[in-house]
Amino acid sequence: MREGVANYVAKAEEELRQRRLAWQEAKQWKFDTVAVHGLYTVAEAIERNQGAIIEPVYLATSQAYRDSDELEAALAYLIPTWCYARIANPSVYYLEWTLALLEGYGCDFETACCATSSGMAAIVSAIEPFLVRLPGRELEPVNFVASAHVYGGTFQQFAVRQREKGVEVRWVQHPERLEEWAAQIDQHTRFLYGELPSNPTLAFFDIAAVAELAHSHGIPLIVDSTVATPALLRPLQHGADIVVHSATKSLTASGFGIAGAVIARKPIVTNIPNDPMREDFASYIKFLPNRDNGPNLSPLQAILTASDVRTLRVRMDMLSENARLVAEFLQDHPKVERVSYPGLPSYPLHALARRYMWLVDAEYDHRYREKVNRYGHLLSFCVKGGHEAARRVLDGLRRIFRATDLGRIKSVATIPAISTHQQQGEEGRKLASIPDNLIRLSVGAEHPDDLIADLDQALARA
Ligand SMILES: *Cc1c(COP(=O)(O)O)cnc(C)c1O
């Protein structure tokens, strides 16, 4: 190594030490403090950002260096730096650390995060490193095992895009049954993938048991935790290796843009012989495959996302309580066939969900002073009378928006069979148990009495 480059590397050690101290301090905080501050410390504000109390948006595409030695050290990733905004960016960095800390909250291992331009980009970034052809084994088949209860875009990605590349997806129709997962795994399986609670059927599975099954085969469990958010469930704590988020959805409330994130524990379990990938998966994809593929998040979107995440815990508490009241109303309504909401005792997977879904830090919350279950804002219900009746109910909504979105501060409803899960066809919807009279409802922060009144008058048209 050139002497000048080595000098920069030595100088960077102090900065790395400072970052490590900030991380250690943040690991001691409660969830809300992490969500509000992340690693944007007082020193970070004063010494680097002119005292700005909110993380600045750095829109510049690239970073300038003092001399060629610093440039070389930076582009070889020998010093902490951001180089070029497709690789990294200071605004994105603050969001990534907040999300890594929140998904790793209460865990004694380390976590890292790679933010992406969308939830789909997060999913593709998380799965593709496992689906590579291995040297000397290029002709071997490649498969992965996934719950069929996934977001429609995920279903398409797996069933169409991955199949185009010769990768086989093996669906698990009842993810709560461990033996269905086990029966699909063979020596060519690269990972297990599940979503919970799933969009739109609210499917659930035993994370710890599925993670243990994966690990017994030397492969990781990847979980889409979009609907739960770390305020209600942290899959890494229960043994999952990687969590993916559509940060477009429940992590944010305002609905100002598309974003995604991959958060991984350090190290992960994998049978892919790639040490940097095993040791720090999120940083690996950030600095190598995603540098080359380009699914990065824009700095402005990163700060908009970080801004909403600050109030995540109280928001998820409020939305969960609103959703529970709405679910209870729907459950008793004569025009409703059935309601899927993990918080309803009548829901078949309620006991399983109750084991996993807790409002983080409720025991330190002066309103509760004890652990409380919370089940999120998403529910679905089937309307008696079939598809046309469901359409009449949807069309009758006056306050609740008809749109394909969820996690918003405003309530939003859709019929998945004709929208989010339309592309996967009738066969695919049967596999995922999505009937055409099912309405998905993402409950917002309006007063629940007004939501119930809107649903009541719409259901009168069924
Ligand atoms: C919307 C969604 C995605 C995809 O996210 P985008 O940000 O729209 O790309 C993935 N998973 C779940 C559960 C979703 O609801």
Residue with tokens 């309405």: 439
pLDDT tens readout for residues 239-273 = 999 999 999 999 999 999 999 999 999 999 999 99
Q: What's the gap in Å between 170 CA and the centre of ligand 1?
A: 21
Residue owning the nearest CA to atom 1 of ligand 1: 246
pLDDT in tens, 327-353: 999 999 999 999 999 999 999 999 999
> Where are the domain boundaries for CATH 3.40.640.10 in the chain?
90-309
Sorting pLDDT into bands at 50, 70 and 90, what band is 432?
confident
Question: Residue 408 — pLDDT band, cuts 50, 70, 90?
Answer: very high
Fold of the 312-459 domain = Aspartate Aminotransferase, domain 1 (3.90.1150)
Q: pTM (2 decimals)?
A: 0.97
Please tell me the distance from the alpha carbon of residue 408 to that of residue 401, in angstroms, as a whole number.
11
Query: Binning pLDDT at 50, 70 and 90, where does residue 427 land?
Result: confident
**pLDDT value of residue 428:** 84
As a whole number, the mean pLDDT across the chain is: 96
Any atom of ligand 1 within 6 Å of the Cβ of 118: yes
Residue nearest to atom 2 of ligand 1 (CA): 246
Whole-angstrom distance, CA of residue 88 vs CA of residue 114: 9
Domain 90-309: state its class.
alpha beta
Which residue has the CA at smallest separation from atom 12 of ligand 1? Answer: 151
pLDDT at 420 over 90: no
Overall average pLDDT of the 20-33 stretch: 96
For 340-356, the DSSP string reads E-TTSTTSTTHHHHHHH
| Band of pLDDT at residue 430, cut at 50, 70 and 90 | confident
What does the pLDDT read at residue 421? 83
| Ligand 1 close to Cβ of residue 120 (< 6 A) | yes
Beta strand spans in 286-377 (E): 336-340
Question: Is the Cβ–Cβ distance between 298 and 61 less than 8 Å?
Answer: no
- Per-residue pLDDT at 431: 84
Provide mean pLDDT across the span 375-382. 98
pLDDT tens-digit readout, 284-322: 999 999 999 999 999 999 999 999 999 999 999 999 999
% residues pLDDT > 90 (the chain): 95
List every span in the chain annotated with CATH 3.90.1150.10.
Answer: 312-459
Please state, in angstroms and as integers, the Cα–Cα distance from residue 102 to each residue in 26, 32, 206, 239, 249, following that order: 10, 9, 21, 16, 16
